[in-house]
Amino acid sequence: MGQSLTRKLIESHLVAGKPVIGEEVSLAVDQVLLTDTNGTLPWLQFEAMGFTRVIPPRVVTYIDHNVYQVDSRNSDDHRYLQTASRKYGAVFSKPGNGICHQVHMETYSIPGQTLLGTDSHTPLCGAAGMLAIGAGGLDVAVALGGGPYSFTMPAVVRVWLTGQLRPWVTAKDVILELLRRLSVRGGSGKIFEYGGPGLASLLAAQRMTIANMGAELTLTTSVFPSDDVTRSFLTRLNRGGDWRPATPDEDAEYDDQIELDLGSMGPLIALPGSPDRVVPIEEVAGTPVDQVMVGSCTNGSWHDMSSVTGVLILETMAREGLLADLLATGALVSESTCGSCAGIGHVPAAGTRSLRAFNRNFPGRSGVKGDEVYLCSSLVAAASALTGTITDPRTLGTPPDVQLPPRFAASEAGFVAPDSGGEVLRGPNIKPVPLGEPVAPALDASVLLKLGDKVSTDDISPAGAAVLVFRSNVPAIAEHCFKYVDAEFVARAKAAGRGIIVGGEIYGQGSSREAAAVGPMHLGIRAVIVKSFARIHRANLINWGIVPLTFDDPAAYDTIERDDRLHLPDLRAALKAGTRVTIANQRTGATFTTSCLLTPRERDILLAGGVLAYTKGGS
């Protein structure tokens, strides 16, 4: 039988392992992207491991999140990133040059290659027929030094598209429909590969939206074929020479299939609190909103912005002066950055509703506790901006006719090429990278925090300018752990010295934010016991020497209270042998078992105390 495109991409880059579901595979990395918020630590880790030059052919460092320079800390870190990139062989993308995912897709995407990124929305480049995966910082640092990227082989699911999108319905509605059906847990352990007769009707920009927000399904990544649509996209960018076909075999086998009729869909919206609280627009139409925002790596393409302009100023639909037209409507146009998506700027007023064409609406992510953020398409956002209430855009009549220009102007002004020279400059906010501790023979520790389901990395290490400014300073950023969940957590952790966290389903969803693992480790967290983990966060815990345990019987979760003292008498031996870890609750006297399924590579790293400790130990 034939192969899927995903399996072709994996097998063509396979360094070790077998591409069998549940087994670990290690892949060669062709390209790496790093961001300012999640890329500073990987560069520091790269240096700490003794590397002197990046090995992947294409490495780019993007300044696209934390660009506000209200004091020297961001500027100092940007200077460090620029000088490190220059010395070690990476391209540097200046502040304001654009959001990493879209800029990388437009400038560097090559069908058939692999891309590893420090940001969880790296899969956007899967829209170009790449295998693009978001990962934790230490995994990226290893890849910078020439090491492969290792992960558990997912199931490959074909998403079979038929029909065409109706007027006012967008690619954002496609991914929201999948979230409505499957929830934020629905993609765990899976790669979605898109195909079917409906595929040809989706522009590259629309594929980018779907691939990008597949991260909210907890997918490993999303893959689209490289076809005539891809060739047209690259040709408009004067990159037709980089195009190559990348398609599955006609008789390709898949592990599962999802069918979606594009023509049957209407506009959708995600209610505040989670990207999977999706309902038809009709259910909330008329709800007043105080803030409407468009853009982001999910909906920031030329196609999106042109659509927004067409809704706001119908008489100028045929013109290409999008910026002037947007300004004429009274819209506030910000720098081309991630910004407000991660709570950096444009924080909504307390107690107000914000409607956003973004990808995440976890509680507090916008930068204010108790926020109410709705997620929608660019067209729903623009229609609602006209009325001040959530508005079904189909009530506006004929939608804007968006025509892409035959060519987009290319510019290298925002990039700085490496030259192997100069000194790497470090500001006073940059602190040494900490080391994890080897797993002890036994662990006796208190439950410092008990959490429910869907805990995001925003809950663990908050977004926002006040916190992310410390991305290169682990002791400082650790002070903000669980800041909006339990303001006393940090003090309690410091007093305890060692601690355990207990949680529910899909613990650590959302951003790949490494601080959500290294911060708790710095505060003495040695184990996290949950019902299930999000993929990147679980890898980050292992990479920093925190033991990720899952309940064998989820009912045991209900027997645990905060401050319970848990005894894990044979922790190290059980991890080493690959057996269940028995835990005794000293308050109740009851025992329960947990599992920590590790590959041999993960086991050695975890027992050593994480990747850096493992590397420094000579392994």
- Give a yes or no: residue 115 inside a domain: yes
- Give a yes or no: residue 435 inside a domain: no
Q: Distance between CA 2 and CA 578 in Å, rounded? A: 36
pLDDT, tens only, 462-502: 988 888 889 899 999 999 999 999 999 999 999 999 999 99
Q: Distance between CA 222 and CA 190 in Å, rounded? A: 9
Q: Which helix (H) or strand (E) holds 418?
A: none
Q: Indicate which CATH number applies to the domain containing 464.
A: 3.20.19.10
Domain identity same for 293 and 227: no
Residue 155, judged by CB atoms within 10 A of its CB (0-12, 13-18, 19+), counts as middle
Helix (H, G, I), strand (E, B) or coil at 293: strand
CB atoms within 10 A of CB 319: 13
Mean pLDDT of the region 294-318? 69
Enumerate the H helices of 244-360 as residue ranges: 302-312, 322-328
Domain identity same for 230 and 276: no
Last residue of a domain, one of 227, 262, 297: 262
Helix (H, G, I), strand (E, B) or coil at 540: helix
Domain identity same for 28 and 92: yes
Domain identity same for 254 and 279: no
- Give a yes or no: residue 220 inside a domain: yes
- Give a yes or no: residue 70 inside a domain: yes
Domain identity same for 503 and 602: yes
Domain identity same for 17 and 94: yes
The mean of the pLDDT values for the chain is 93
In the numeric block, which tokens belong to residue 201?
């009707």
- Give a yes or no: residue 14 inside a domain: yes
Helix, strand, coil in percent for the chain, rounding step 5: 35, 20, 45
- Find which of 18-32, 94-108, 312-326 is predicted with most confidence, using mean pLDDT: 18-32
Taken as a whole, the chain contains a residue count of 619
- Give a yes or no: residue 429 inside a domain: no
Evaluate whether 63 touches 344 at the Cβ level (below 8 Å). Answer: no
Domain identity same for 165 and 185: yes
Evaluate whether 361 touches 375 at the Cβ level (below 8 Å). Answer: yes
Q: Which of 63-67, 140-144, 497-501 has the lowest mean pLDDT?
A: 63-67
How far from 58 is each of 106, 108, 115, 117, CA to CA, in Å? 14, 8, 9, 12
Domain identity same for 258 and 290: no
Residue 526 has pLDDT above 50, yes or no: yes
Q: Indicate which CATH number applies to the domain containing 123.
A: 3.30.499.10
Residue 57 has pLDDT above 50, yes or no: yes
- Give a yes or no: residue 542 inside a domain: yes
State the pLDDT confidence band at 312, using cuts at 50, 70 and 90: low
- Give a yes or no: residue 94 inside a domain: yes
Mean pLDDT of the region 284-290? 97
Domain identity same for 535 and 469: yes
Evaluate whether 481 touches 519 at the Cβ level (below 8 Å). Answer: yes
pLDDT, tens only, 532-575: 999 999 999 999 999 999 999 999 999 999 999 999 999 999 99
Nearest to 378 by CA among 330, 308, 468: 308
* pLDDT attached to residue 317: 32
Greatest Cα pair distance in the chain: 73
Mean pLDDT of the region 572-594? 97
How far from 232 is each of 50, 204, 406, 593, 595, CA to CA, in Å? 43, 9, 9, 55, 49
Domain identity same for 69 and 179: yes
Domain identity same for 64 and 172: yes
344: containing domain: 272-394
* pLDDT attached to residue 315: 29
Domain identity same for 481 and 604: yes
Last residue of a domain, one of 336, 367, 394: 394
Nearest to 434 by CA among 477, 463, 391: 477
Residue 384, judged by CB atoms within 10 A of its CB (0-12, 13-18, 19+), counts as buried
DSSP annotation of 368 = S
**Domain total for the chain?**
3
Last residue of a domain, one of 262, 293, 312: 262
Residue 305 has pLDDT above 80, yes or no: no
- Whether pTM exceeds 0.85: yes
